[in-house]
Structures are given as structure tokens and as C-alpha cells.
Amino acid sequence: MSRLDVLDWRRRTAALYAAVRAAPDPATGHGLWRAGRDELFATHPASPLAPERRAAFTGLPVAPYDPALRAEVAVEDAPPQRHDVATGTDGTVHLERVGRVRLPDVGTLDVWWLDQYGGGLFLPLRDPGPGYGGGRYLLDTVKGADLGGRDGRLVVDLNFAYAPSCAHDPAWACPLPPPGNVVDVPVVAGELAAP
């Protein structure tokens, strides 16, 4: 895998999320997301699945779409906080808290800005449910994983929670959710476990 492969992966991910945002309804967008992610995992050179695992790959385990798990939420003020995450291969990832969102029936999650070249919003989640134990991502705009929003609000849809690449291959480095992104409520939505 080359760096140009990773670039192409990011471009395709951004295009996939653009198609999701343009879908006529969230459930249709979710179907596009599932099919697009499965295709990338099965066929792309930058897939976090090792080539020998791709041959037997039949799709990521994803819960059925539940419209009750989608919300457009305000980004509320929160005291500034810096969180530096040592990732090994990627060095230290610097996060700056820009606010919080409140998700119905889940709780409050910190919204972070990746304080590095290019920046981007980052909204991870760790819960005791059947997802990847290290946590999942809801938004990661550096990689194009963005469901939209406007006027200080973000679309946060738990149906789109996904495990980072490091859940599938330890060669990848991923920042895991800081304490303000850990909840006690199981979230049975999105990608449920690494295959």
C-alpha cells in the first residue's frame, strides 16, 4: 500500500459521505454507506483488512438503521481542554475541545478539533455495547466522515458509528476516545464489531 493509495481511500471516503448527505433520506444514505464501506474494505489497496482476510470478507457487521438514533444537535460551549494522544506510528495527535453535544438517551460527548495541519472535527465514542472495545468514530472530518449540519449544529447519527482502522489491523494508529467521550449506555448501532 502506498501513500497515494491512502489518499485515494480518503477521497473515496469523502465522496461516500457526500453521497450519504445527498441521499433522499437518512436510511437510504445508510444503505449507501454500508455498501460503500464494504466495497472499500473488500477491494481497496488501503483497506485495513489484510489481503488474506479480504478473500473471505462478506461485509462489516452493522446494525439495521434506526431513525431514532439520528439527531441534529447544537455544539454547546465547554471549557477549553487539550488532549494529546500518543499513537505510536503517527506520533502525537493534538486535540482541542471546541464544545460538547448532548445525544438523547446517550449523554454528553466532547467535540474535538484536530489541532494539526488541516485540522478537522473529531467526535469519537466509547460505550459498553457490542462495538469495538477501543471506541468508534461518529465524525472525523479530516477523513471526510461528516454527516453535515449548519448554524452551530452537527448531524450526529449513531447508525454511522464505525470502528477505526486500528480495530481491523494493529499496523494502523488511531486516537481513542478521551474520557469526555466515554458513556455508560450501550450503543447498539453502526458497526458492531471488527470482522
Reported as a single tens digit per residue, the pLDDT across 102-155 is 999 999 999 999 887 778 999 999 999 887 788 999 999 988 899 999 999 999
Query: In sequence order, what are the residues at sequence separation of 6 or more whose Cβ sits closer than 8 angstroms to the Cβ of residue 39?
Result: none
Task: Give dist(CA 158, CA 150) in Å, integer.
Answer: 18
Please give the order of strands across the beta sheet that includes 82-86. Answer: 82-86, 92-103, 107-114, 121-125, 136-140
pLDDT grade, residue 62 (50/70/90)? very high
DSSP code of 2? Answer: -
Instruction: Report the pLDDT value the prediction gives residue 173, as an integer from 0 to 100.
Output: 77
The average pLDDT across 21-43 equals 97
The pTM of this model reads: 0.93
- For cell 474494505, the residue is 41
Instruction: Report the pLDDT value the prediction gives residue 194, as an integer from 0 to 100.
Output: 56
What is the per-residue pLDDT across 176-185, written as a single tens digit (0 to 9) for each? 899 999 999 9
104: which 3 cell numbers?
438523547
Task: Give dist(CA 191, CA 194) in Å, integer.
Answer: 8
Query: In sequence order, what are the residues at sequence separation of 6 or more whose Cβ sits closer than 8 angstroms to the Cβ of residue 32?
Result: 16, 19, 20, 23
- For cell 494502523, the residue is 172
